[in-house]
Structures are given as C-alpha cells and as structure tokens.
Amino acid sequence: EVQLLESGGGMVQPGGSLRLSCAISGFTFSKYAMSWVRQAPGKGLEWVASISASGVSTYYADSVNGRFVISRANSGDTLHLQLNSLRREDTAVYYCAKVRLGIVEVANDHWGQGTLVTVSS
C-alpha cells in the first residue's frame, strides 16, 4: 500500500524558514516524480513544486520560485521542501503527492494527509 507521511509543519513568523519532509513507503521512490501542493484555509488546491524521479529537474510555481526548494533523498525514500522568506499568504496545508510516472507532466496519483504551515507574528 502506498503511503506518504508529511512532517515539519508548524507556526513560524513572517520572514522565517521551515523544512517539510515526506516519508514514503509502498513503492520504489526512485522511480517516480513527486510534487508538493498546498491549500490555504477555505481555498482551492495550488501546485507548489515538482521534482523528477532522478532529482535532476525541479519546477516551481511563480509564487514560491526563489524562496522554496524541493529536493529528494532517493537513498532514504524522503522528499523535502525548504520554505524560506515565508509570508502570511504561504499559510496552508502542504500535501506531498506521488506522480504516476518518473516525469512530472502527469497526474498525482497518491497524496499524503498534509501538514499545516501557519505564518503569523
């Protein structure tokens, strides 16, 4: 059974940093691309970033480009998202998602339960 478990969320002040992690099980991590998608309270889904299976290629939404960094440790079956220069509008539940293939251009077929990031002073 595919499982994704996010961790690292919490409350942080504007301008601060946070590192999210996603531990996976039930599939061969190194064969699949991965994504982070967020959802602000009461709002819709917003794609944040994706990374190819090898980790060589990364892609970002305009709203986070230059502030967030997606990375993966294939040896440890873990996906990360480094959040820097946080703003109040970054407050959201952050979901880790497995992409159906090794490339990022296809659907996210499994999702974690999410971790809440709150940016507030």
Contact 111, 99 (CB under 8 A): no
Separation between Cα atoms, residue 1 and residue 59, nearest integer Å: 27
User: Least distance to another protein from the beta carbon of 45, Å?
Assistant: 5
The only residue of 46, 69, 78, 118 in contact with another protein, by rule CB under 8 A? 46
One character per residue 6-45, x = contact with another protein (rule: CB under 8 A) = -----------------------------x-x------xx
Separation between Cα atoms, residue 35 and residue 12, nearest integer Å: 23
The one-letter code for the residue type at 53 is A
Q: What is the DSSP letter of 63?
A: T
Q: How many CB atoms lie within 10 A of CB 55?
A: 16
The only residue of 32, 68, 94, 95 in contact with another protein, by rule CB under 8 A? 95
Residue bearing tokens 């998202």: 81
User: Is there binding between residue 61 and another protein (CB under 8 A)?
Assistant: yes
User: Least distance to another protein from the beta carbon of 8, Å?
Assistant: 17
- In the complex, the residues that contact another protein under the rule CB under 8 A are 35, 37, 44-47, 50, 59-62, 95, 97, 100, 104-114
